[in-house]
Structure 1
């Protein structure tokens, strides 16, 4: 009898993380390298239903919908990575500042967080994107400046809790400097929270980029972005061309779910109680 190899929860989590990263990286690389194919028009093949030659069909200009969908997703992933990275850095800096720089700074940052969270999210995002000239830079700025508030609150709460912990007080009484305490004791505790928050910002960034582009306040119509594809497909759905919206929408949902799964897996890895089962 062969012994059956039992895979623990941590190994399963690592496998899921690897598969998610492989898919997302593959989509990003494929989309960037296949941009020309997404823009190629051929009227001899327009409005083809999904088949072996064109898995996602073609549109009214004869463009390959698979190539357009993958390219659109790659644009969304790049925007999501840039916007989530900037937003996470803002959240980290303001969260730490609120918890360590006195009551006045804490009150000012808390007021700013409450102000941003009190404004309808999509409205604020559209206003910032429009003010920045829309396009790629406008979308990244809009998403970056509206998604940092929740993570900043979490980091602020973590730092306040650490400051009052017994081992931090003991370390300070032993004569260690604030820099040493931050580097050796606070940073290792905050880093997992920061990374999980960073990854979980990706799906929100991607969805909101697609949303404002769909509404006409994001990327230009020359870009084969998912929001542009879905917006253009609306006028053709009534004529029975269902594949123009179904496959791009399904791929967008799949990508967002994988980013969410990646964040959940990272959370499990940083929580030994949930990872070792």
Structure 2
């Protein structure tokens, strides 16, 4: 029996890659304004219908998701790095641990979306303000998990043995902490992603995130609210459905990665025994 990656994990990864690549390839001319086609219901010509300017909603939604994916990936990566650094710093000594624990408790005690809105608004909104706000508010849960793992590792026999052999803390982090923490790091990064894109859409929907010239899902949903009362349901339905699908896909990927790592751990344990 060998380590393996299930088809259930490969398929959603490939689908997301295809979605992202196609969104990059799509040219801006595909979003050209055509007032003769405005507010057209879904049809074979326009599967998701058109908006109030005659733009194809499938193309707009696809490009909006590419923006959300980019923001989600950057947020997940940066937040994971911050969480790892905080956990490692907390493991250095008790004084640092108290500071890190206080910071985690502070951010977790504040309403998440309100904190994100305040940071984004203070920084002037836009891509920069929104990205910083998302990164600052999405590292805490993973940091708390990693801090506990580091604390348990610090008390293990092989860590104590390394210290007795004169190994410094950086060596211990690189050779002991990281190999043991990588499952939590990978799963945590994957699970941060759906939270990031949902909060990005929410803040943008409220008018504090991305500018209106960005084809983001939050912008599309915000603009569509003015037309729902006129019966143009497709302007919000399909973008919202796509956003929900991407969120559920990443949550599903996180569960599959967890199962793969559990299988591989059992396999390693069987080989070692």
Same-fold call, TM > 0.5?
A: yes
Q: 2:121 aligns with which of 130, 136, 143?
A: 130
Aligned-pair CA distance for 1:117: 1.2
Take 2:214 and 2:252, find their aligned partners in 1: how far apart are those partners?
Answer: 28
1:197 corresponds in structure 2 to 188
Q: 1:60 aligns with which of 46, 52, 56?
A: 52
2:271 corresponds in structure 1 to none
Take 2:27 and 2:189, find their aligned partners in 1: how far apart are those partners?
Answer: 28
Q: 1:21 aligns with which of 13, 18, 23?
A: 13
Take 1:182 and 1:127, find their aligned partners in 2: how far apart are those partners?
Answer: 35
2:197 alignment partner, SS class: helix
TM-score where L is the length of structure 1: 0.90
2:216 corresponds in structure 1 to 225
Stretch moving more, 82-91 or 166-175? 166-175
2:101 is equivalent to residue 110 of structure 1:
yes
Take 1:180 and 1:96, find their aligned partners in 2: how far apart are those partners?
Answer: 12
Listed one character per residue, the Cα deviations across residues 88-133 of structure 1 (whole Å, up to 9, x for unaligned) are 1111101110122x22211111111111111111111011111222
Take 2:7 and 2:200, find their aligned partners in 1: how far apart are those partners?
Answer: 29
Take 2:211 and 2:30, find their aligned partners in 1: how far apart are those partners?
Answer: 15
Gaps of 5+ in 1: 1-7
2:270 corresponds in structure 1 to none
**Where do residues 1-277 of structure 1 align in structure 2 (5 Å cutoff)?**
14-37=6-29, 39-100=31-92, 102-272=93-263
Take 2:25 and 2:33, find their aligned partners in 1: how far apart are those partners?
Answer: 17
Stretch moving more, 55-64 or 29-38? 29-38
Stretch moving more, 254-263 or 25-34? 25-34
TM-score where L is the length of structure 2: 0.91
**C-alpha contact (below 8 Å) 2:88/2:173 kept by paired residues:** no
| Superposed structure 1 runs of 4+ greater than 4 Å apart | 174-177, 273-276
Aligned-pair CA distance for 1:52: 0.9
Gaps of 5+ in 2: 268-273
